[in-house]
Structure formats: C-alpha cells, structure tokens
Amino acid sequence: MAQAPKPLKSFYSCLDTRFIKEVPQPLQHVVIAHFVASLGGTVVFYTMEDVYSCDSHEVILGKVLEKPRIDGFVFFRIAQFYNGGRPNIEFLRMMLEHGYEVHFAREKISLRTAADLDRVFPIVFTAHFLEGRDEGHAFSLSVPR
C-alpha cells in the first residue's frame, strides 16, 4: 500500500529590509523559496521589518506572539540579527523556545533547538566580529586596489 506523502512544513518568511537595494525583494523570495523547498516546506506568509524596527524586530516579534500554527520562520540572512554592537542571540533563542524552527536561506543555516543555537554560536559570533573588524579595509571588498 502506497504511503501517504509527508505533509509540507509551513514557514513564515521575513525578508531583509536593509538589503533590498543589493538583493531586491523578488530575488529574496526566490532564494527563500528554493531553500524552504529543500527543507520539505513551503512559505505560507511573508513579512519584513519596517526600516525603524530592524533592530527591535517588533514585526516578527508580533508574529511570534500570535503563536501561528507553523513550523518556523525563515530569514533571508543572519545579518538581519546583527543589531548594532552584537548579534541578537537572545531573540533567536526566544523564537526557538517558543517551539519554532529558525532558518537562514543565504547561509543555509537551520536552527531547530536551543542546542543548535549553542552549536552555531562560534561561527555566528566570529562572523559578526569580523564584519566589524574588517569593514572598510580593502581586503574586505576583495577587489584589486
């Protein structure tokens, strides 16, 4: 007897408001959709922060607190959580503790538990640190001077 197909996972996607000029919304949608398909899922709703809520994540926070019946949230890139001086690890932990998966399409990084967050902490912390350290230097652009 043929097995019933596994139901698709459902995700809310959150585009990167600060990166629209470099990667326009339609392209961010394509990247996210392709990544979500590889997770066995589909995007059922999308949103993005206002330019003034990019650091506080109030738009996404509102969605989390609505307790939507979805598997998780997919962001375009981890830099959406580089809030000024430090990566907003606490916010990511909060989403995971609410039972939601958190994924990042550009980096293909997936967090399903708080333990996953602890595991990726070194690379996320280091990437954020290096961005601050190397910004403005020629080698950070990697083009001939």
Partner 1 sequence: MGDLATFGSQGYEIFEGERRDKIDELRQKLFLRAKSAVGGKGPDEPAAFFNRFHEHKLSSADLNKVRLDIVDHCTKELDVARNLFTGFHSTLLNLVGPDVAAQRTVNLVIQQPGDSDQVPIHRDAPSNSHFEVIVWLPLVDCFKTKSMFILNKPDSSTGLDMLKSGKSYVDFSAFARGKGRDLSVPYGSACFFAAGMVHGCNVNIENETRWSLNIRYKNLFSPYGAKGLLEFFEIISLSPLSRIGFDFERQEYGASPKAP
**Nearest CA among 88, 112, 90, 89 for reference residue 99:** 112
| Nearer CB in complex with partner 1: 43/109 | 109
Distances (CA, A) of 32 to 8, 26, 65, 99, 104: 15, 10, 23, 21, 8
Residues near partner 1, by CB under 8 A: 78, 86, 89-90, 93, 106-109, 114-115, 117-119, 121-127, 130, 134, 137, 139-140, 142-144
Q: DSSP labels for 51-83?
A: TTSTTTTHHHHHHHHT--SSSEEEES-GGGGEE
| Nearer CB in complex with partner 1: 45/119 | 119
Q: At closest approach, how far in Å is the CB of 112 from partner 1?
A: 13
| Nearer CB in complex with partner 1: 67/86 | 86
Q: At closest approach, how far in Å is the CB of 44 from partner 1?
A: 26
Angle formed by the axes of helices 89-97 and 114-134, to 10°?
160
CA angle 116, 117, 123 (to 5 degrees): 105
Q: At closest approach, how far in Å is the CB of 131 from partner 1?
A: 9
| Nearer CB in complex with partner 1: 52/139 | 139
Q: At closest approach, how far in Å is the CB of 116 from partner 1?
A: 9
Q: At closest approach, how far in Å is the CB of 39 from partner 1?
A: 14
| Nearer CB in complex with partner 1: 44/61 | 61
